[in-house]
Amino acid sequence: MAKLHVKKGDQILVLSGKDKGKKGKVLSSLPTAGKVVVEGINIVKKHTRPTQTVQAGIYDQEAPVYSAKVMVICPSCKKATRIKKAQITKANKVAWVRACKKCGELLDK
Ligand SMILES: [Zn+2]
């Protein structure tokens, strides 16, 4: 399975498209599609049929965006950054985690 550079819970910056320059939080990632769903980004109108519990209407819903169109915002230096890989040792095991290319802070802990 392809790995994305963005994960659920990341703050991201949108690089292109109608939401260019907007920031949001990743709600879910879809690695097989290479896409992520971001809070408040790429909103589409969704028409729903009435059911017993839900009224018919038009709802706003986030549609997935390509992960290549977003950049992770480092929680440490607050900048949109590229990701580098950093090696850490966890319980005597070597693991690779994501780190900020600008300040070096680990993004996965
Ligand atoms: Zn940083």
C-alpha 96/C-alpha 3 separation (Å) is 13
With left for phi above 0 and alpha for psi between -120 and 50, is residue 91 left, alpha or beta? Answer: left
Q: What is the pTM of this model?
A: 0.84
Nearest CA to 79 out of 30, 22, 13 is that of 13
Distance (angstroms) between ligand 1 centre and the Cα of 94 equals 22
Distance (angstroms) between ligand 1 centre and the Cα of 40 equals 23
Structure confidence at residue 80 (pLDDT): 97
Distance (angstroms) between ligand 1 centre and the Cα of 103 equals 4
Residue 59: its H or E element: strand 57-62
Domains belonging to the chain, first-starting first, are 1-73 (2.30.30.30), 76-109 (no CATH)
Structure confidence at residue 52 (pLDDT): 86
Confidence label for 22 from pLDDT (cuts 50, 70 and 90): very high
Summarize pLDDT for 70-99 with one digit per residue, the tens.
999 999 999 999 999 999 998 999 999 999
Residue 1 clears pLDDT 50, i.e. is over it: no
Chain position carrying tokens 């997935």: 64
Q: Are 76 and 68 in contact (CB under 8 A)?
A: no
